[in-house]
Structure 1
């Protein structure tokens, strides 16, 4: 069994951060070690939310405890998402390096969650600088959406080809795989939800239905990155892992849309997560 240290937010109500990532990975046979960067009542795109970031130093103490108990050699990957305090950034980098000290083959998958004021996504100042200046050289896999890819590349992206090129530039700077988890305005088909996976060898493209919600659920990116990482750890090649990720997320989104829910229907979709039906295939460009 593979083990993942998942460093993300946590919400009491609903599904975002670790609440959206842990269960799907567990259902796919991955043991997850969750560390919560923040503890919120609910995600920040509600009208009101309460909670706090964990104090600086907590992640470092947790890693030290795992090291003292000889558990770090068992860690196969680190997954990081929402960071609630810029002081957590260096702790994440130290955690990745400490895990790799004991398991040089351990993957680091960074979901570079950045602020998006128009959507109500609140992220601490300085976190985006950490992603740009340090993570690109540290991560094996990054999972930006279009907005995050624009920040990482320093460019406004308006076409499909520009997205491909921006992802390829991240690969050239050291990232092995870049998952562009939502192409948005740059999608080939405006009626579809499209993703790209770009590596040094290939560009993969996949499209699934775009479900029209009155208000889009939060946590979809957290879910997407978690099941892609699970696929990679389970030995899937890139194209198979991408297809599993897209089709699992499609099943969850379809069920959520049918239930007219604002929160992801993860529990009711558990059978689809464990046994996804591959309806949508990835294409090599």
Structure 2
């Protein structure tokens, strides 16, 4: 970890940009700046709004234009200042290759630079990027210091189907061995209730009308002595439509790693507390403005807009998350 005060950190965040709403860099920049980080933003796309709306306009950068931006930073010596690189949705093979090469160059200039990679490829059992991207992300894992895949992305990268806690642990181990990343966060996991340790069961893991089945987050860290430390965190879910939560999660991961440089689990517990609180705020806003519970993606753009992440309104949860919740629990596994 870099031994600096937050105001001395500078993050290069490479993601998508929306004029309206909070996804990609719009979901990452404010939280990091709120916590004292300088953030340089490289937008790989500029859209009017996220693609969950019925329509959107805008444009995508190609790899040559992304390279031009890197060249401009290097020419002026600005690339030497980066302590962190954060990547989110890329979606383009050539841009991803460019980013990989540039991160390697940045690490040569600053060996203790921390690269947090969210390998955004898909969810709920399906890819929403070209299959060509998958092997490239496997290659990038050898460069990344921290990766934050969801369950489907973990399965895709490891080749192991996650059906229970044992297979989740095995998938993380394989990514450590083959990828090289010492810190892995599986951001969302669904697990059979009988596979969940008692220590992270809230209300015995049962769902209620306003409280669906809990989800889980797993951390896996290679310690200094080579041993693997793994933890499981349970957290409540909310029935609604949410976008940008993964982008918020990875940005908060950048920040909280500095709070707990030797404990990935405690850093991510703090991240989960923030993300869950802002998700709750968003859920409450959805119900108030649509006058009903939302299930699945709304067709009406007004309802999609009502589902935008309540990021600004949740500032206090970014700065000082409540870490005493009885519904967010953690145990070693």
TM-score (norm 2): 0.79
Cα deviation, residue 226, structure 1: 0.8
Q: Which residue of structure 2 aligns with residue 13 of structure 1? A: 20
Residue 249 (structure 2) pairs with residue 224 (structure 1): yes
Measured after TM superposition, the shift of residue 202 of structure 1 is 0.2
Contact map agreement 2:221 2:264 (CA 8 A) in 1: no
- For structure 1, list consecutive stretches of 5 or more residues without a partner in the other structure: none
- Distance in 1 separating the partners of 2:185 and 2:239: 23
Match of 1:195 in 2: 217
Q: Which residue of 2 aligns with 1:143?
A: 148
User: Which residue of structure 2 aligns with residue 74 of structure 1?
Assistant: 81
Deviation at 1:240, TM superposition (A): 2.5
1:29 equivalent to 2:36? Answer: yes
Instruction: Report the CA distance between 1:41 and its aligned residue.
Output: 2.0
Structure 1: which 4+ aligned runs deviate by more than 3 Å? 115-119, 185-190, 233-237
TM-score, normalized by length of structure 1?
0.92
Matching residue of 1:161? 166
The answer to whether the 8 A contact 1:206-1:243 is kept is yes
Output the aligned Cα RMSD. 2.0
Q: Distance in 2 between matches of 1:172 and 1:118?
A: 24
How far apart are the structure 2 equivalents of 1:102 and 1:118? Answer: 39
How many angstroms apart in 2 are the aligned matches of 1:129 and 1:239? Answer: 28
- Equivalent-residue separation in structure 2 for 1:118 and 1:205 (angstroms): 22
1:238 to 264, 279, 282: 264
Contact 2:191 2:216 (8 Å CA) reproduced: no
Deviation at 1:105, TM superposition (A): 0.5
- Counterpart CA distance in 2 for 1:117 and 1:24 is 27
With over 3 angstroms needed to count, the CA separation of the structure-2 counterparts of 1:89 and 1:186, relative to structure 1, is farther
2:272 pairs with 1:212: no
**Which segment drifts farther, 69-78 or 261-270?**
69-78
Quote the offset at 1:117 in angstroms: 8.3
Structure 2 unaligned spans of 5+: 1-7, 197-204, 207-212, 223-227, 287-305
Closer/same/farther in 2, CA of residues 198 and 235 from structure 1, 3 Å limit: closer
Matched positions, count: 281
**1:59-105, Cα deviation, whole Å (9 max, x unpaired):** 22222222222222211111111113221011111120121121010
Please say if residues 122 and 152 of structure 2, whose CA atoms lie closer than 8 Å, have aligned partners that are also in contact.
no
Bigger CA radius of gyration: 2
Distance 2:141 2:35 in 1: 27
Partner of residue 278 from structure 2, selected from 244, 248, 252: 252
**CA deviation map 1:9-47 (0-9, x unaligned):** 111221111111111111122111111111122222233
Residue by residue, what CA displacement relative to the aligned partner does 1:153-206 show, whole Å, maximum 9, x if unpaired? 123221121111101111112111110000035673472121011112300111
Q: Do residues 274 (structure 1) and 300 (structure 2) align?
A: no
1:225 aligned counterpart, secondary structure: helix
Conserved? CA contact 2:260–2:266, under 8 Å: no
Distance 2:260 2:267 in 1: 9
Kindly state the Cα deviation for residue 244 of structure 1 after the two structures are TM-superposed.
1.2
In the alignment, what sits opposite 2:182?
176
8 A contact 1:4–1:76 mirrored in 2: yes
* Cα displacement (A) at 1:116: 4.6
